[in-house]
């Protein structure tokens, strides 16, 4: 079994966390993921993307948002790559965290955003996730009935190692819940996903939040899926909506046979060193 149907749900995020949880349940109940094997959500889908609101909406693992995702997975018999939410860690720090659930609603994966989005765009745009968030330090994979998969979160995609490490550890699909803005989105969104797909010969699944004109942070939207040859299989616009796209894992193997990039690496003269003390 090599084909997987992925439902990308691009949700419009509002101010109230519980309204967002209810909206997610409504969209799924209305068929946003009908017939899908995997549901993919956007970055910080349960809260406005504002650093001052991350602590307000943070919750520990197995909190209300976690439970909503687990329940959706179990009731709909599908995997859920749960975008990301502000996680209150056991250490008291807040992380930008993605949870992954299997068809029974069991958590099988977790990724804390490694590269925090701290930018200073010529004084015109300043955004510092580090004002309230702590960076993660692992690039973990998770196992599914089809293959090994992984998660990056938004800014992680800017760093080639974030995708290469999971790819070398067997990942054939990498999900990236993200919320690029109206400057970086038009410039680099599609390019970044195509680039990571080509160099690692994998499927990249980028799921964004929908654009909310009333929000302080405008998300670019344009949820996207790119294949191992760099082709854009699906790309949405900025509005709330969903799309179900079929991918074929046999194509990963085919591309790697025709153009053996990973196996042709000169590990006798260079190697990627993963310095993580938590491994």
* Annotated catalytic residue within 12, 17, 110, 113: 113
**Mean of per-residue pLDDT scores for the chain:** 95
* Model pLDDT for residues 244-274, shown as the tens digit of each residue: 999 999 999 999 999 999 999 999 999 998 8
Distance between alpha carbon 68 and the CA centroid of its chain, in Å?
Answer: 18
* Annotated catalytic residue within 43, 59, 129, 238: 43
Residue 268 lies in a domain: no
Q: What is the helix (H) or strand (E) element at residue 170, kind and residue range?
A: none
Domain of residue 25: give its range: 3-258
Tell me, yes or no, if 113 is annotated catalytic.
Answer: yes
Residue 276 lies in a domain: no
Range of lowest pLDDT (122-126, 130-134, 161-165): 122-126
Residue 242 lies in a domain: yes
Total domains present in the chain: 1
Confidence band of 277 (pLDDT split at 50, 70, 90): low
What is the pTM for the complete model shown?
Answer: 0.96
* Model pLDDT for residues 12-27, shown as the tens digit of each residue: 999 999 999 999 999 9
Q: Which residues of 64-92 are buried (b: 16+ CB within 10 A; e: fewer)?
A: ebbebbbebbbebebbbbbbbbbbbeeee
Confidence band of 279 (pLDDT split at 50, 70, 90): very low
Q: Which CATH number belongs to the domain containing residue 138 in this structure?
A: 3.60.110.10
Residue 166 lies in a domain: yes
Confidence band of 278 (pLDDT split at 50, 70, 90): low
CB atoms within 10 A of CB 189: 22
Residue 217 lies in a domain: yes
CA angle, 62 then 37 then 99, to 5°: 25
Tell me, yes or no, if 190 is annotated catalytic.
Answer: no
Mean pLDDT of 124-152: 91
Residue 267 lies in a domain: no
* Annotated catalytic residue within 154, 172, 238, 240: 154
Residue 266 lies in a domain: no
Per DSSP, helices labelled H in 134-260 are: 160-168, 184-200, 250-258
Residue 22 lies in a domain: yes
pLDDT at residue 125, rounded to an integer: 62
pLDDT at residue 41, rounded to an integer: 98
Confidence band of 172 (pLDDT split at 50, 70, 90): very high
**Spatial separation of the C-alpha atoms in residues 247 and 101, rounded to whole Å:** 19
Tell me, yes or no, if 43 is annotated catalytic.
Answer: yes
């Amino acid at each position: 079994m090599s084909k997987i149907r992925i439902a990308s749900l691009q949700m419009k995020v509002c101010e109230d966390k519980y309204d967002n949880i209810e909206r997610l349940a409504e969209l799924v109940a209305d068929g946003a993921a009908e017939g899908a094997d995997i549901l993919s959500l956007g970055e910080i889908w349960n809260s406005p993307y504002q650093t001052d609101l991350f602590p307000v909406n943070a919750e520990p693992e197995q909190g209300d948002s976690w439970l909503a995702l687990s329940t959706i997975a179990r009731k709909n018999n599908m995997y859920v790559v749960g975008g990301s939410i502000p996680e209150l860690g056991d250490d008291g720090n807040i992380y930008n965290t993605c949870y992954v659930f299997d068809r029974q609603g069991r958590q099988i994966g977790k990724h804390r955003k490694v590269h925090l989005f701290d930018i200073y765009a010529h004084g015109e745009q300043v955004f510092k996730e580090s004002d309230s968030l702590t960076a993660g330090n692992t690039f973990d994979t998770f196992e599914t009935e089809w293959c090994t998969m992984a998660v990056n979160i938004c800014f992680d995609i800017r760093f080639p190692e974030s995708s290469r490490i999971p790819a070398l550890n067997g990942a054939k699909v990498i999900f990236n819940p993200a919320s690029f803005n109206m400057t970086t989105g038009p410039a680099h969104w599609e390019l970044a996903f195509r680039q990571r797909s080509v160099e690692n010969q994998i499927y990249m699944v980028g799921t964004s939040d929908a654009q909310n004109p009333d929000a302080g942070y405008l998300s670019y939207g344009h949820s996207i899926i790119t294949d191992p040859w760099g082709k854009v299989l699906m790309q949405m616009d900025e509005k709330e909506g969903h799309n179900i796209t079929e991918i074929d894992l046999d194509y990963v193997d085919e591309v790697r046979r025709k153009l053996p990039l990973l196996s042709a690496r000169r590990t006798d003269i260079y190697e990627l060193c993963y310095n993580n003390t938590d491994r």
